[in-house]
Amino acid sequence: MQAFEFYSPTKIIFGPNTEAQVGQQVAVHGGSRVMVVYGGNSAIKSGLLERVLHSLDGAGLIYQCIGGVKPNPRLSLAREGLKQALAFGADFILAIGGGSVIDTAKAIADGAANPECDIWDDFWLKKIPLPGSLPVGVVLTIPAAGSESSDSAVLTNDKTHEKRGLSSPFHRPRFAIMNPELTFTLPSYQVTCGIVDIMMHTMDRYFNPVTTNALTDEIAEGLLRNTIFYGRRAMEHHADYQAMSELMWAGSLSHNGLTGLGNQPDFAPHQLGHELSAMFDVAHGASLSAIWDSWARYCANTNPSRFARFAENVWELDPVGKDANALAMEGIEATRQFFLSLNMPTCMSQLSCGVQPESVLKDLAFRCTYGNTRTIGSFRVLNYADILAIYRLANH
């Protein structure tokens, strides 16, 4: 094992009807004036919002609500939520939803704790370190992003079409209430996007230059096998408690840091996908599945043995009579076929944006390198030319 630090302080409250505990948990963690952040009408129609507010009432807490969070969460909504949180005097931010809602809540919490700073210009563009944040709690409704237990958050600047992430220990939620039954009515597309996101949070840590962290690799491979197996079951029947509970827990473990301990996370596919979702407003999971196959085929020869292990240990492909390169390609193809079986895109023509002209591909690569000022990735370090080549491979 390589050297590492691991700190995952989020309290997980898992099981049916656990949303009834939200008021108690907010109070335990010091909240008295709660800013409640949620997404669309599903939280209202399902009765979840009403149940959560009833629990807050029962704990004697004061609250104010803001809804309307969209996928690829917008800076503008975070700014409006911050404005309301400051006027209300919020001391706790509660997210009801998935990754987009949770990330918006984290951004509001950052700004409310530091009203003299600008959340985008100062923190998201990393001009200054984030000095602190208000506490955040989560009622999770979608197994996907893992933001309920991670130190990261992602925002899209809807004026400049930039999508950036910010990691900080202050972004770890104080608690995450996880009731798998809340996922039973999710549309199929949200479930499949979530499956991809869970896998990619793990694979972007698994494909890295370090190959001596045996237990970390075993955990990652087991999580991937579990997600594939129960992902297939979930697609057959969304109200399968066992399947959805396994996916919900896998989502948290995929992004709390556990599957990358001692490694140098790569996350190049995430960076490539961010530019697609920022420019075309495609779903995050779809942007990842659309780019991964091209990234993998471009980078596989950097360490074919790593992809061969992935093929054998995750997809359980027979290695007999095959060299590392051949087995690696089989593993990559198995992943592509699995994404297709979920009706997820594996190239740009299958995204809503479609095939793009060369000028757009160059703009995507330029944006991905922050104006040709950075490289991405660790499994293989990618510069502007590499990134453009991957976008070209995916542009069919």
Contact yes or no for 178/252 (Cβ under 8 A): yes
Whether pTM > 0.75 for this model: the answer is yes
Cβ atoms of 101 and 39 closer than 8 Å: yes
What structural domains does the chain harbor? 11-182 (3.40.50.1970), 188-394 (1.20.1090.10)
Phi and psi at 338, nearest 5°, equal -65, -45
What whole-number distance in Å separates Cα of residue 163 and Cα of residue 57?
36
Query: Each residue of 218-240: pLDDT tens digit?
Result: 999 999 999 999 999 999 998 99
pLDDT at 143: 95
Distance of alpha carbon 375 from alpha carbon 391, whole angstroms: 15
Give the CA angle between residues 81, 55, 42 to the nearest 5°: 55
User: Distance of CA 23 to CAs 133, 175, 206, Å?
Assistant: 20, 12, 38
Instruction: Report the residue count for the chain.
Output: 396
Q: Please tell me the predicted confidence (pLDDT) of residue 303.
A: 98
Residue type, 23: G
pLDDT at 42: 87
pLDDT in tens, the chain (396 residues): 888 889 999 999 999 999 999 999 999 999 999 999 999 888 999 999 999 999 999 999 999 999 999 999 999 999 999 999 999 999 999 999 999 999 999 999 999 999 999 999 999 999 999 999 999 999 999 999 999 999 999 999 999 999 999 999 999 999 999 999 999 999 999 999 999 999 999 999 999 999 999 999 999 999 999 999 999 999 999 899 999 999 999 999 999 999 999 999 999 999 999 999 999 999 999 999 999 999 999 999 999 999 999 999 999 999 999 999 999 999 999 999 999 999 999 999 999 999 999 999 999 999 999 999 999 999 999 999 999 999 999 999
The pLDDT of residue 97: 96
pLDDT at site 146: 95
**Three-class SS state of 49:** helix
Sign of the torsion formed by the C-alpha atoms of 299, 305, 308 and 314:
negative
The token pair that represents 40 in the structure block:
């669309």
Residue 238's pLDDT is 85
